[in-house]
Structure 1
Amino acid sequence: MPELTIGGWILAVIAAMSVGLAKGGLAMVGLISVPILSLVMSPVQAAGLMLPIYVVSDLGGLIAFRRNFDLRVLSTALPGAIAGIGIGWAGAQAVPVEGVTLIVGAVGLIFALNALIRPHLSAQRRQPSRLRGTVWGLLSGYTSFVSHAGAPPWQVYVQPLRLPAMIYAGTTTWFFAIVNWIKLIPYAALGQLSPANLWGAAALMPVALLSVWAGLRLVRIIPQKLFYTLITWGLLAVSLRLIWQVLA
């Protein structure tokens, strides 16, 4: 982990908090973790630093939702997700840091604009589909590999299925837990799980774990519409800053 200023450590703590809050029930908050850290370090290093935090934070969710998941949905989306991770791994050396920064910014921008312009997905209920699951799973796996931003494509596929709330939350938890464990292999091979990153992740881990508990509390008392609106605007601002950083 690079030497950070006080401001840099504040951003790192916010990123770790966003991961914990996401695992505590405020799922989309985790999207801002890598974009925020990318303001003070390489997005590649930011993704490597965050992955151990995601993996450890996933454990609590797996315990909580050990029986609440839809195996059919997982079976339609995971093969594509694994392929997406493979594509990300294969192209990792070919894409320069500026390209990764641009991808991270673009993913965040597209999601934020979509959330603001189209706040509600189709009201028509769908059934799990091998084709749609593979396509959106692949996009989710790839964006998750690049910047842990796999939630938007996953939601495009899963939200129209109208799963019961607990099944939806549990299926999402299991999907990303499996994706994150698989990502450990290419991340280690690419050197993103360096001792410096692991020490940095260990320092931030208590913040993330406390935030899991906080997320479980906050999801019960804060109007989610307001919360996600603020997060969406925050993601939009950070994403625009990253894109400007590359193109300026």
Structure 2
Amino acid sequence: MISFDLAFFAVAVPAVLFAGISKGGFGSGAAFAALAALALILEPAVALGLTLPLLMLMDAFTLRPYWRRWHWPSARLLILGGLPGVALGAVLYRVAEPDVFRVLIGAVALGFVGFQGAVRLRLLPARARPFSAATGLAAGVAAGFTSFVAHAGGPPVAVYLLAQGIGKTAYQATTVIAFWAINLFKAVPYGFLGIFTAQTLLADLVLAPVALLGAWLGVRAHHVVSERLFFGVTYTALGVIGVKLIWDGVT
């Protein structure tokens, strides 16, 4: 159930705004934060169903400013791998309990923060040459799976794209087209599994202006705002949220 009270909007509005900014200008890395934050106050399935239409709205908005600026060979592999990854996520969803998803979302959040921290501290060596096509497909499968169960396909996509030697805008545009396709793949099984409800769709209508505002701000900020500042705040919040979700799931 969704209670449209002050607590809901206090969490949902900044979470959706940050997700929009991330998808609009910073490679979708922080878009996962919206689900993680909402999972603190909603059942995981409700949070998943509420978030996906908003992410799809952000995808549609950001397609135009990045149209054909993506690296198509990489995007094609990620999209092709994303379809079986989504199918794997649908299978897991049918057999897992809600607390499993709380722990999974929390673990992905902490893993994401750890990965980004290791990259920035140069604890992970830079890839000397681009990954193979098979690795691109594997990254797509991983992105499809983690995106289905937690809207968290950013890390495997980032690992793959950072090694491809493409520019900042091509990187951003490639994540836009890849997740536009993967989120479309997810919508069909979400519908069949009953993840969308009248309440989640009503919440989406209420939060749609926030999603569009965030995406617009992200596109504008792509060339002017420090990624270090934006992601520093986001990763700190994700770390705290991840610990809380794991605690709630195991207790």
TM bucket, shorter chain: over 0.9
8 Å contact 1:81–1:137 — kept in the other structure? yes
Residue equivalent to 1:141: 144
Of 166, 173, 182, the match for 1:163: 166
Residue equivalent to 2:102: 101
- Alpha-carbon distance between aligned partners in 1 of 2:221 and 2:133, rounded to the nearest angstrom: 35
Structure 1 range deviating more: 76-85 or 121-130 = 121-130
1:162-220 C-alpha deviation (Å, 9 max, x unpaired): 21222211111000000011111011111112121111111000011111222233444
Q: Aligned residue pairs: how many?
A: 248
1:9 aligns with 2:9: yes
Q: List, as ranges, runs of 4+ consecutive aligned residues in structure 1 with deviation greater than 6 Å.
A: none
Residue equivalent to 2:36: 35
- Alpha-carbon distance between aligned partners in 2 of 1:244 and 1:124, rounded to the nearest angstrom: 35
1:134-174 C-alpha deviation (Å, 9 max, x unpaired): 22211111110011110011101111112122221111100
- Alpha-carbon distance between aligned partners in 2 of 1:213 and 1:147, rounded to the nearest angstrom: 24
Q: 1:24 to 1:179 in 2, by over 3 A?
A: same
Residue equivalent to 1:235: 238
8 Å contact 1:76–1:129 — kept in the other structure? no
| TM-fit CA distance, 1:43 | 1.3
Residue equivalent to 1:110: 111
- Alpha-carbon distance between aligned partners in 2 of 1:39 and 1:216, rounded to the nearest angstrom: 28
Residue equivalent to 2:70: 69
Alignment of 1:176-187 (within 5 A): 176-187=179-190
- Alpha-carbon distance between aligned partners in 2 of 1:46 and 1:233, rounded to the nearest angstrom: 21
- Alpha-carbon distance between aligned partners in 2 of 1:227 and 1:80, rounded to the nearest angstrom: 29
Normalising to structure 1: TM-score of the pair?
0.94
- Alpha-carbon distance between aligned partners in 1 of 2:193 and 2:154, rounded to the nearest angstrom: 23
- Alpha-carbon distance between aligned partners in 2 of 1:95 and 1:110, rounded to the nearest angstrom: 20
Residue equivalent to 1:47: 48
Return 5+ residue gaps in structure 1 as ranges.
none
| TM-fit CA distance, 1:221 | 4.1
8 Å contact 1:79–1:134 — kept in the other structure? yes
Residue equivalent to 1:88: 89
Residue equivalent to 1:208: 211
Normalising to structure 2: TM-score of the pair?
0.93
